[in-house]
Structure 1
């Protein structure tokens, strides 16, 4: 039986084991980002969750990760320490979680750890800990100081100066190897090339440019196509540079699928979703981005004390996000980008009353962006002949 929110039943491919485990080590944050999907949108269950992941939850989650890796013969697994703001958990708790997972996975698989932070609390003590534990660090930075402070204020005003201070330490020679990259949410009020230049000042190895999370019932700011018009100049600058200074994952994955490959990120192509979340209370859930849709949208009714991750794999919501080409929304099937776009990010397809069987609320933007990148690739390949 398929939940009415997911769409009509279609043939189901074999389940793809989870490859990335997001551990919510702290469920609160010290910033009040204006676009935050977790705290300001439909799902407010964070209010009822404990702020910090306890040792008991960490131990159970670690055991489940090790169990899943061994059951599926996985060679490597990715563990992301997340929040809220994960640094609020403190160094002792972060160390405990990492060691618990490594102890439980053992030699069954290589375990790669990363952490996504807003950067305001990043300092030498944390960086020495991350160096000791082998944790790569991603930092959220929304372009230049003015735009960042407008989007990501703290209780005492803008946060850019604190993020820049943390990044200065992260990018110093001693810790540069820990730098995973920058995450930037698109702000239509900021000039795209100014934003790109501000990000490049920190010489990031990779940049994630993110669309603000939205649905058909809670649309994003700006008219259809505005995000494509923001992204295209950045793509042209990035693609046309004599020496490419960084990776931009959105662009790389679109190029991959247009050239016939597979995408490594959800929301581009039809690669099955292989990420699962463990909340601070031990609940096993789907992506927390589903908070934009409705209350409990990510809830699987499972927890690490009573359920293994295979139970999450069998859940209809997981199945819906692992159907590959069979999971393309009905109205997207005739589209020229059906297999390369895949309908866009799953939460962005939601419409109240009829669920997720819709094209992305950013459809017009994706169409323009795919078309522009395709034409650029055709032109570049023609020149090289």
Structure 2
């Protein structure tokens, strides 16, 4: 739920404000309570129709805390009034941390709302991209918020840190700077890119491969794999668990034949829909980097049930597992683990989404590295 469509930071890699889709300009900055009520009723309707045991709601933006404490309190009250009699729901909030203070934390505590914060590393690393619009650094405010969030009274609300990979930052230093705040979980995100607009550092990637990558010869440059492998080794070799790293744990689970429960990897059916501040229903936000209108479904909470979103072409394709992938991905040994990578990252201007991820070579090398490390560890384990 995009409860606020604006942000108080001007992060230069943002997929909302600096991407192809600029629809945020035509939407209300704050989600009105009437829209919240209608969205909540649609959630309840969907839960009853499909006999769901629980629902997960993510309060998102922009920066969701820009709605202010009063509106956020009213919004959360509406969700509880509409949903508590129907289905248990778990609510979390994704924030840049700059507005998070004791007053907000008390409110989130009262309503049992978990908090994830975006942090890209040490001050210089974080502030390279994540600055206020006037150029001021944001790290001091985020660090202060994380100190509050780490207080024993609020610690159980802290679900983790999101860190966008920047090749300019030292990987191990970045990881260790995140550990300073004792996060229960860290997730590393690849910067959004497509075959039409490759990510930083791999501008030569303009043509999808015609066959699965060879992880042994490593003919392609794989700077993102190298960055993440350095973090993986530091994390995996720690004498005791310092934090959980979602991306690594999901890949390890897939390699062991288990479930992969993240949008970025695996073949699990896509189960996310975005409610924009005006009540329109959209596919994943990251699709905004593809083209104007790329996430559009033509649906909204006023006229359509959520089940209609399941019938859109994009959603059907993303629910099809391996059958929804291109031939190169279906032929790859890591199909079940990688799942073709994030849907957005597969896009090419002429072939659409029937391609491997623009990070294909990086993902293959990273997964192969994790498999080797796991196999070596298991062989050394006492029988």
Using the size of structure 2 for normalisation, the TM-score is 0.93
Q: Give me the whole-angstrom Cα distance separating, in 2, the residues matched to 1:344 and 1:258.
A: 15
Q: CA deviation at 1:108?
A: 2.8
Helix, strand or coil at the partner of 1:37 = coil
> In the alignment, is the contact (CA less than 8 A) between 2:322 and 2:330 conserved in 1?
no
> In the alignment, is the contact (CA less than 8 A) between 1:270 and 1:342 conserved in 2?
yes
Q: Spell out, residue by residue over 1:318-357, the C-alpha distance to the aligned partner (whole angstroms, 9 max, x if none).
A: 1111111211222212111122211110000001122100
| 49, 57, 64: which one aligns with 1:86 | 64
Q: Give me the whole-angstrom Cα distance separating, in 2, the residues matched to 1:92 and 1:309.
A: 28
> Any unmatched runs of 5+ in structure 2?
203-220
1:256 aligns with 2:253: yes
Q: Spell out, residue by residue over 1:201-242, the C-alpha distance to the aligned partner (whole angstroms, 9 max, x if none).
A: 000000010000110011001134111100001101111111
Counterpart in 1 of 2:36?
58
| 341, 346, 349: which one aligns with 1:344 | 341
| 229, 234, 246: which one aligns with 2:243 | 246
| 176, 194, 200: which one aligns with 2:173 | 194
Of structures 1 and 2, the one scoring higher in RCO (CA 8 A, sep 6+) is 1
Per mean C-alpha deviation after superposition, the further-off stretch among 231-240 and 202-211 is 231-240
Matches within 5 A, 1:357-368: 357-368=354-365
Counterpart in 2 of 1:15?
none
Matches within 5 A, 1:203-214: 203-214=182-193
Q: CA deviation at 1:177?
A: 1.0
> Any unmatched runs of 5+ in structure 1?
1-22
Q: CA deviation at 1:148?
A: 0.6
Counterpart in 2 of 1:181?
160
| 217, 222, 238: which one aligns with 2:196 | 217
Helix, strand or coil at the partner of 1:155 = coil
Counterpart in 2 of 1:295?
292
Helix, strand or coil at the partner of 1:214 = coil
What is the aligned-residue RMSD (CA, Å)?
A: 1.0
Count residues with an aligned counterpart.
363
1:47 aligns with 2:20: no
Counterpart in 2 of 1:76?
54
Helix, strand or coil at the partner of 1:169 = helix
Per mean C-alpha deviation after superposition, the further-off stretch among 274-283 and 93-102 is 93-102
1:227 aligns with 2:231: no
Counterpart in 2 of 1:127?
105
Counterpart in 1 of 2:8?
30
Q: Which segments of structure 1 move beyond 3 Å, counting only runs of 4 or more?
A: none
